Amino acid sequence: MPEYVTAFAPGRVNLIGEHTDYNEGLALPFAIDAGVEVRAGATGDQRITAFAVDLTEHDSFLLGEEAPSPGGWRGFVRGVSAELVTAGLPVAGASLEIRGSVPRGAGLSSSAALEVALCLALLALSDTDVVPPWPLARICSRVENEWVGAQTGLLDQLASLCGRENAALRIDFHSGVITPVALELGEWRLVTLDSGARHENAQSGYNERRSECAQACAALGIATLRELEPAMLDALEAPLDARARHVFEENARVEAAVEALARGDLAELGVLLDRSHASLRDLYAVSTPAVEATVALLLGAGAAGARVIGGGFGGHVLGLLPPGVEGPPGALEVRPGPGARVLDG
């Protein structure tokens, strides 16, 4: 068994396909360069100690005695260790050092990066064979659902685990098929711009949207919104009809984006980003005034399209800049990078 291991897991940007993952729909995310690094050392006993370097905060607990979860980043560490054990995977005592380069709570999936890096580090320390992406993503998502209280889907964890350089991932959450899609931008650039507002009400708003989708399915007698047909929309009351319409049309926009990328038609990709944003604002109601102002800034600076990314209710906005367009101050370029990995000791 190794004495030390280091694991890195990236955050993600979702190019298009928002709020589709928990509806067994389609999404097109890519992993970014920023992420979370976890260095783990074997302690030889049953204790996990953790140090969040950026926050200068500590935690310490015994394996099997993770609960209660004290909230914040500690809930993720405790949740990951408990859920790995529940899944029948070996976890040994470890001292963990956690460093992050992805902004927290900004819609770039700092939490998924943390969960995935913790999983990989703890598993590598126990010399465990690589666990495939879907089961590992499900373990991480149980951490979000059961330990952190966010009813999130599998988008972020799969993007972090499966990221590829120069490619986005077309993820079909119904069939489970993940297909790399070349993201050849040429002189175009993708940037994110912080709306400045952290999504404090994001968790409750997100959980509410998820429950509205479940209500829509129950009303229609279907298992998931992937089975929705446009004719069914009339049978739904507001706002469930709007939520369901967003999901249906967003799935179609993912397919259209894959086709636009295959043709190298980046102007069309920009149009699709704008349509996705309009739908997230008007039908799914996850935008905020700060997000709208940020979208306007990007478009005003010449972006060919801009949209809120992640769960919404604040966070970062994605913009697609044509060749020669600088973008507003504070815009950070994002490029598709490799997925989560174990680095040398």
| Residue 156 appears among annotated catalytic residues | yes
Contact with ligand GLA (CB under 6 A) among 22, 76, 248, 284: 22
- Cα–Cα distance between 128 and 125 in angstroms, integer? 8
**Looking at 21, 59, 156, 194, which residue is catalytic?**
156
Q: Tokens standing for 240?
A: 């469930």
Strands 47-52 and 94-100: parallel
Q: Which is nearer to ligand GLA, 39 or 115 (CB)?
A: 115
Q: Which is nearer to ligand GLA, 35 or 41 (CB)?
A: 35
- Cα–Cα distance between 220 and 276 in angstroms, integer? 24
Helix (H, G, I), strand (E, B) or coil at 181: strand
Contact with ligand GLA (CB under 6 A) among 8, 9, 16, 18: 18
Nearest to 292 by CA among 274, 304, 310: 274
Q: Which is nearer to ligand GLA, 285 or 325 (CB)?
A: 285
* Binding status of residue 310 toward ligand GLA by CB under 6 A: yes
Contact set for ligand GLA, span 146-185 (CB under 6 A): 152-153, 155-156
Q: Minimal distance in Å, beta carbon 317 to ligand GLA?
A: 14
Contact set for ligand GLA, span 46-85 (CB under 6 A): none
Q: Which residues pair with 43 in a beta bridge?
A: none
Half-sphere exposure of 270 toward its Cβ, with a 13 Å CA cutoff? Answer: 20
String of contacts with ligand GLA for each residue 91-130, x by CB under 6 A: ----------------------------------------
Q: Among the candidate windows 16-24, 83-91, 293-301, 318-326, which touches ligand GLA by CB under 6 A? A: 16-24
Buried b (16+ CB within 10 A) or exposed e, 10-42: bbbbbbbbbbbbbbbbbbbbbbbbbbbbbbbbb
- At residue 344, what is the residue type? D
User: How many residues lie near ligand GLA (CB under 6 A)?
Assistant: 11
Q: How many other CB atoms sit within 10 Å of the CB of residue 209? A: 23
String of contacts with ligand GLA for each residue 271-300, x by CB under 6 A: ------------------------------
Q: What is the dihedral of CA 240, 245, 248, 253, to 10 degrees?
A: -140
For residue 36, report the phi and psi dihedrals to the nearest 5 degrees: -125, 135
Q: Which is nearer to ligand GLA, 43 or 207 (CB)?
A: 207
Q: 196, 291 in Cβ contact below 8 A? A: no
Q: Which is nearer to ligand GLA, 155 or 273 (CB)?
A: 155
Q: Which is nearer to ligand GLA, 6 or 152 (CB)?
A: 152
Q: Among the candidate windows 14-22, 98-106, 239-247, 322-330, which touches ligand GLA by CB under 6 A? A: 14-22
Indicate which residues carry an active-site annotation.
Answer: 156
Contact residues toward ligand GLA (CB under 6 A) are 14, 18-19, 21-22, 152-153, 155-156, 310-311
